[in-house]
Structure 1
């Protein structure tokens, strides 16, 4: 009987050790997965979703996209929660005019904003009659077919749409919901400060951006998070992510894996 009891205790001890070993292996796998996720999010890509219509027609509410963190180098805001570990940028590179960039709102250094880079350090930016001017010269724009969007009351309306071409030759589309008579369609001249960037939305009459110095203003290079690269998922704004059985009729299949420009 003593021999049997000793063997039973031995087997019981082996089982406990195996359970502890299995638990520790599970914990290690979870920790490794978390570490990989943090490294990818910090160094390579970070997912974002579009909650507002300020970049219509380029980006729509319900678009989900990847932002490359390495495009502009790294700052404290490249790290989750933005701890003040260092200042400035490491391996930094200049954004190009026309990039769509995610940045931390300068007023609180925590809210994520996404806009198009229209002004580089030293540029003089102004809007006259709805036309963007860079260094005293109007940006070329060409009227194209109207764009269907919604007004302040949620009604579908057709608004003027333009193909805008920057001096460097890059093109994109903008809309003027208020027909060049919006609040920010005539501004003073803004001189972009050294180490700062001037941001605007493509939905020119429905965008809180660098034109509004009280709310947004010019964006310091340190506040840049990354460049928007590709839409990996898109769903109608009135659809719910928590009702996946409705996705097939609400997913915007034509926007999946679309490059952002």
Structure 2
């Protein structure tokens, strides 16, 4: 009697469930340890980041805290494999007085720094950060304003350069008290200086434990408050010039005076 090769169909509900579970676990590992997608819901980081931008945040840049894990379980305190945020980084963090909220701002002050705004000029340790008017933006999609908006370029002490919007001259955030950043904390500000809830106001100093990760790359961007699922709106609302751009290199359409 000759041997017969028998092929067994191993498919079925059990195998399907196993594949789904493995895929979910892999996605969880990637989200927790490597990259997490975020979308920008407000205009506080204009013109660098716009509402409708979707970006990846590097989770390993600053190490891991309980906020790196979904639902932030109390498994440990502090950070594991901690890396220090650098001045000028755009970072996602949990708001200190409401850790259910994710915020995204730029790191301006490091532990021990003295931070102050004087007549719209940023001072770090009593030294003015160079600030130059580079032109205007007259595009409501970028500025959320009905007319041209002045754009100022700042250069931080470590050479990081970025643009800020000046929507309201002499606004309440243009002149502040001096802030002394405590040990283990950071001072965060939005690039849209007159429309940002940040460390000058109710956000306060951000503990290192609250950092989730560093913003990395814009992988999708859509205007008009459209959902990415509204594919029929892509031809008119998709921002093609922002796709796959570094958050530090997003175009901003500055018009020179």
Q: Please, what TM-score do these two structures have when normalized by structure 2?
A: 0.90
Aligned-pair CA distance for 1:168: 0.9
Structure 1: gaps of 5 or more residues:
1-16
Aligned-pair CA distance for 1:150: 4.9
1:210 correspondence with 2:199: yes
Change (3 A) 1:104 1:168: same
1:222 correspondence with 2:209: yes
1:28 correspondence with 2:15: no
Q: Distance in 2 between matches of 1:148 and 1:77?
A: 38
Aligned-pair CA distance for 1:149: 5.3
The 5 A counterparts of 1:11-90 are: 22-90=12-80
Contact residue 51 and residue 225 of structure 2 kept, 8 A: no
Aligned-pair CA distance for 1:73: 0.2
1:130 correspondence with 2:154: no
Q: Distance in 2 between matches of 1:141 and 1:103?
A: 27
Q: Distance in 2 between matches of 1:232 and 1:22?
A: 36
| Aligned twin of 2:171 | 182
Structure richer in helix, relative to its length: 1
CA deviation vs aligned residue, 1:104-125 (integer Å, no higher than 9, x gap): 0001212000000000000000
What is the SS of the residue equivalent to 2:196?
A: coil
Aligned-pair CA distance for 1:160: 1.2
CA deviation vs aligned residue, 1:37-87 (integer Å, no higher than 9, x gap): 000000000000001000001000100000000000000000011111000
Q: In terms of mean alpha carbon deviation, does 101-110 or 241-250 score higher?
A: 241-250
Q: Please, what TM-score do these two structures have when normalized by structure 1?
A: 0.88
| Aligned twin of 2:251 | none
Aligned-pair CA distance for 1:256: 0.3
Structure 2: gaps of 5 or more residues:
1-7, 249-257
CA deviation vs aligned residue, 1:176-211 (integer Å, no higher than 9, x gap): 1002x1111100000000000000000000000000
CA deviation vs aligned residue, 1:190-244 (integer Å, no higher than 9, x gap): 00000000000000000000001xx210100000000000000000033333421
Residue in structure 1 matching 2:222, options 210, 222, 235: 235
Q: Distance in 2 between matches of 1:68 and 1:155?
A: 31
Change (3 A) 1:40 1:233: same
| Aligned twin of 2:134 | 144
Aligned pairs, how many?
A: 239
- Divergent runs of 4+, >6 A: none
1:254 correspondence with 2:241: yes
Structure of higher CA gyration radius: 1
Q: Distance in 1 between matches of 2:75 and 2:122?
A: 38
Change (3 A) 1:155 1:185: closer
CA deviation vs aligned residue, 1:148-167 (integer Å, no higher than 9, x gap): 3559xx65121111110001
The 5 A counterparts of 1:88-127 are: 88-127=78-117
